Chains A and B, each alone.
Chain A
Amino acid sequence: MERGFVLREGEGGFERAVGILEMIDKFPDALSDEDVEGAADFVYPDLRNTVLGLLELPSSRQLEVLFFRRVLRIFREAQRAREEGKKLIFIPFTFPPEIFWAFDNIFPLCTEIVAGAIVNICAGQGERFWDFAMGLGLPDSLCSANTIGTMNLIHGPGLKPDAIVYNTPGSCNPNAKIHAFAADYLGIPQFTLEKPVDETPRGREFHYRGFLRFLRELEEWSGQPLREERLREVLELSYRAVDLYNEYWELKKARPCPVPNIFGMSLLVLRSQMWGREEAVEVLQRMVDISKERLRRGEFTAEERARVYFAYIYYLFDFYNYFTWAEKNGVTILGDILAIHHFPEPDLTSMDSMLHMLADTAFDYPMTRQMGASSISVKWLEDISRAANDLGADACIFGGVHACKHTLGTISYLRRELMRQSGLPTLILMGDVMDKRHLPMPMFQEEVMVFVDQVVAKKRQSRRRRRGAGGGCESEAPAPPEGEAGERAV
């Protein structure tokens, strides 16, 4: 089998990913261990780690087949969008997709979700598109997620959007610039919304006015007004998902955590692409049901040795060696910055109230809220420490991404203050979200295990000693002695 990235005539990365998803769609609903092993052996190495990452552990298997299928459904619809009279619009992962689902004739596809599909499904992991960007003269300090996603569009052949949206001017330079670049390069309209670095009423008012203008521009461009009834339907679905998200969050608090690590990735895809659609509700419901059932039965993949909150974003190019590996080694991944949502109280009584809700959701959308704050470091610290403390984290891990200059420029403050204010140690890693060449997974695993063994385990032991001395109740199972990490998958 050819190991490179194979594109067939008329196909781009997106079409290739859809083609392979079609194959996975043929999997039966219930997969045995042998089925998974057979499937993993059948496919090329880059896809193997995706198949294993999603399906190897029984804890996630029953969810992820459904998840794959729903992703495929959305992608198929995107391919048919134009035939059905809809305009295809690319949106960043920093923007609530429900806004676009509320339009009758706009179909949103999230740039970074498309990139994630290419990276995790296609042979070559999208490096072809990154290298293409370098060939265009773009700097190598950009974000692989949105660069691979947009370069797939420019590189062609295949899917081409009718417009591009971005809302990160001022909160993330690489994200905004590459989306603007793609629109300029392709000569298609670009719609933008600025979230000012200002949480005062003045800043919120500016954002709200901009949001209304943004919607007007979309209406004019698409030729159809936003209908109140349709918006209400979409928001009702969104808030059903919000209720499930809240349940999911509560389940994460349990010790040991019954929520499989890989669900964190699934949540990200649901929020960035499917929120406001039935699929998000369906998959989230299954995630909650599975986690509840595991909690009830006391089913856990391994003894929980560390509960870590990821202070930034996940690395998303090798699900198996990241999420699955951590779970098998007793490292619970509680969440990342993209899992911290601030949904306003629902008020679906009028068009005006719904528009305010949507604007507020966009204002406080993950990453937009922190990196677009008047103080990145202060808002970031506030949200991460609240989430980490709420979920009972032992420590934080900062998976630095070379493109993300805002967090890289303020991580020292975050690490210092997380320790000072919450006693949470933070491991700093440098890598990339979708390009494995920056930090290979064996290095990631080694760094995490040393951190868990040397820092987290000792912290847990000293906490237990303090509780013991004070006659406090000991609720945690004792950690294995140092050096006995149990079974480790490498």
Chain B
Amino acid sequence: MTREALAEELAGQPEGLFTEYVRRWKESGGKVIGYSCLIAPVELVEAAGLLPYRIKALGSAVTELADAEMSLYNCSYCRSCLQLGLDGTYSFLDGVIETNGCDHMRAMFENWMHRVDPPFFHYLKAPHYLRDDALEYFLGGLELLKRDLEEHFGSEVTDGALERAMEERARVRELWRDLCRLRELDLPTVSGSEALALEIRGSAMLSSDYASLLEDFIRERERAEGRKPLARLMFCGPATDEVAWFAELEAMGAAVVADALCFGTRAFLPEPPPGDDPLRRLAEGYLGNLFCPRMYLEYGRRRDLILQTARRARVNGVVYLYNKFCDLHGVDSALLRRDLEREGIPVLVLEKEYSARADLGRVKTRVQAFLERIGGEAAWKGASS
């Protein structure tokens, strides 16, 4: 992906949801399945010969149709996504997989079901714990999804096809880790907003093509010269696809050298373990490595992962951002701020409205103040000594 192409993504608009890639896929007779939450295993969709497409809003702040269905106390990201379903922008989707990610998302999908009535609608019900019985239940859910995909789209999902899809996805994960290494360099050659743009583009592609995109991009950036940022930040939080918003924050001089975001590194954590049964491996990989606040009895794992990443990336501070009314991330952020600051890592918690340009000035002021507080590299040295 060239700098020019990235710039296009950075200026993403809702009309960009129907990408050239998706258009070509549809023209060749391919079907597209929308999903929203990371718990939906894209490998299974790909193994059915379908294109998994992660539903997003690309910064669209218009929600008038969605507001007639959901309240203003619902997450504006979910309302923006629903809006694009209701206004026909997502009419290219041949089906939708609902997942019970959070209360907002469940409401979004219910309204999608009632008002859009897509040709294929499947509810993948994911437990909220990682326990043996939860794993078996989730495995059963994947079997039901597989069966429904096969029946509706008339394509058998063989073990061989699933294994191949898993290998291709594994390659994407490996490349994402390579990308992260470039972000974490002392002189990063990849910015946080570029990584976000890549994931937004990649989450509407087959894994094999996403891998090629990443390979090209990494090859280019391995040779590039990095720039020393004013401060090294890690961003944590839920699904957000506001690339332009990220870019504006990075333009203040800080680099987002690591993240634990839904459209970011957390999308690449569900790694299937080795084994003979591919569906079981998928179930274990996804349920066991979601690292999302929707999972209970796992706060310690989430905290440790963030702490470990922050240390490895030598960040000066962590910014935990979430959209207004997101209770899952809102509550986690309070615990994380306490625990990370105890470890000497400054934390800024930013509650914001999705894609509200009017909010940007306030947010930039707070980020600027945070950057002044943490004082860049000197602060990190102080914390680690």
Interface flags for B70-114 (1: CB within 8 Å of A; 0: not) read 110111001000000000000000000000101110111011011
Interface flags for A157-182 (1: CB within 8 Å of B; 0: not) read 00000000000011011101110110
Which residues from chain A contact B111 at a C-beta distance below 8 Å? Answer: 409-410, 412-413
Could you say which of B104, B108, B337 has the most chain A C-beta atoms within 10 Å of its C-beta? B104
B349 touches A180 (CB 8 A): no
User: Which of B74, B100, B333 meets A408, CB within 8 Å?
Assistant: B74
User: Which of A169, A210, A213, A375 meets B110, CB within 8 Å?
Assistant: A375
Beyond the given A137-B349, A192-B297, could you list 10 further A-B residue pairs with CB under 8 A, ordered by the A residue number? A173-B328, A181-B331, A181-B334, A202-B137, A203-B125, A376-B110, A377-B110, A377-B114, A405-B104, A409-B104
Q: How many chain A residues touch the partner (CB < 8 A)?
A: 47
A409 touches B133 (CB 8 A): no
Closest to A134 in B: B334
A141 touches B330 (CB 8 A): yes
Which residues from chain A contact B324 at a C-beta distance below 8 Å? Answer: 141
Closest to A402 in B: B73
Q: Is A198 an interface residue (CB 8 A)?
A: yes
Which residues from chain A contact B296 at a C-beta distance below 8 Å? Answer: 169, 176, 180, 192, 194
Task: For the complex, give the distance between the alpha carbons of A63 and B201 in Å.
Answer: 65
B299 touches A184 (CB 8 A): yes
B133 touches A210 (CB 8 A): yes
Question: Which residues of chain A have a CB within 8 Å of any CB of chain B?
Answer: 136-139, 141-142, 169-170, 172-174, 176-178, 180-181, 184-185, 190, 192, 194, 196-198, 202-203, 206, 209-210, 213, 371, 374-377, 400, 402-403, 405-406, 408-413, 430
Q: How many chain B residues touch the partner (CB < 8 A)?
A: 49
Task: For the complex, give the distance between the alpha carbons of A176 and B328 in Å.
Answer: 9
Closest to A193 in B: B129
Which residues from chain A contact B133 at a C-beta distance below 8 Å? Answer: 206, 209-210, 213
Interface flags for B114-143 (1: CB within 8 Å of A; 0: not) read 100000000101011101011001001000
A311 to chain B, nearest CB (A): 14
Interface flags for B319-332 (1: CB within 8 Å of A; 0: not) read 00000111110111
User: Which of A177, A202, A203 meets B331, CB within 8 Å?
Assistant: A177
Task: For the complex, give the distance between the alpha carbons of A90 and B245 in Å.
Answer: 42
Which residues from chain B contact A405 at a C-beta distance below 8 Å? Answer: 73-75, 102-104, 107, 325, 327
Closest to B137 in A: A206
Which residues from chain B contact A376 at a C-beta distance below 8 Å? Answer: 106-107, 110
Which residues from chain B contact A185 at a C-beta distance below 8 Å? Answer: 335
Closest to B295 in A: A169
Which residues from chain A contact B140 at a C-beta distance below 8 Å? Answer: 202
Could you say which of A141, A180, A409 has the most chain B C-beta atoms within 10 Å of its C-beta? A409
Q: Is B293 an interface residue (CB 8 A)?
A: yes
B110 touches A139 (CB 8 A): no
8 A-B pairs with CB atoms under 8 Å apart are: A137-B337, A172-B103, A173-B102, A206-B134, A209-B133, A402-B73, A408-B107, A410-B70
B330 touches A409 (CB 8 A): no
Which residues from chain A contact B150 at a C-beta distance below 8 Å? Answer: none
Known contacts A169-B296, A194-B129, A196-B127; decide if A138 and B73 are in contact (CB<8 Å).
Answer: no
Q: Is B69 an interface residue (CB 8 A)?
A: yes
A137 touches B134 (CB 8 A): no
Closest to A374 in B: B123
Closest to B108 in A: A409
Known contacts A194-B128, A375-B110; decide if A409 and B331 are in contact (CB<8 Å).
Answer: no
**Residues 309-349 (chain B) with a chain A CB within 8 angstroms:** 324-328, 330-335, 337-338, 349
A377 to chain B, nearest CB (A): 5
B69 touches A412 (CB 8 A): yes
Task: For the complex, give the distance between the alpha carbons of A196 and B327 in Å.
Answer: 20
Which residues from chain A contact B293 at a C-beta distance below 8 Å? Answer: 177
Interface flags for B342-379 (1: CB within 8 Å of A; 0: not) read 00000001010000000000000000000000000000
Closest to B351 in A: A139
A412 touches B137 (CB 8 A): no
Which residues from chain B contact A400 at a C-beta distance below 8 Å? Answer: 71, 73
